[in-house]
Amino acid sequence: MQSKQFAAQSGVVINIQQGRARDYLDSHNVDAMMTFIAHKTAFDSPINLLIGEFLGADSMNAVLDAVKNAKSGDVILQQTPDDDLPDILFAVMPVWDTALSNEEKFLSRCYRNTLKIAKDQGYKRLMMPALGKGKSNFPHQRIVRLSLSAILEELAPPIADLTILCAEEAMYHAYNERLSG
CATH number of 42's domain: 3.40.220.10
Give the domain range for residue 170.
Answer: 3-180
Q: Which has more confidence, 114 or 81?
A: 114
C-alpha distance from residue 64 to each of 23, 36, 68, 69, 78 (Å) = 25, 12, 7, 9, 11
Buried b (16+ CB within 10 A) or exposed e, 59-84: bbeebeebbeebebbbbbbbebeeee
pLDDT at 63 (0 to 100):
78
Pairing of β 161-166 and β 75-78: unpaired
- Per-residue pLDDT, averaged over 44-49, amounts to 70
Element (H, E) at 5: strand 3-7
What domain count does the chain have?
1
Strand, coil or helix: 90: strand
pLDDT at 75 (0 to 100):
94
pTM score of the predicted model: 0.88
Q: Is 161 exposed, middle or buried (0-12, 13-18, 19+ CB in 10 A)?
A: middle
Please state, rounded to an integer, the average pLDDT across all residues of the chain: 85
Sheet containing strand 75-78, edge to edge, reads 3-7, 13-18, 161-166, 125-129, 32-38, 87-93, 75-78
Residue 126 near residue 71 (C-beta atoms within 8 A): no
Whole-angstrom Cα Rg for the chain: 15
Instruction: Report the largest interatomic distance among the alpha carbons of the chain, rounded to a whole angstrom.
Output: 45
- Per-residue pLDDT, averaged over 41-47, amounts to 64
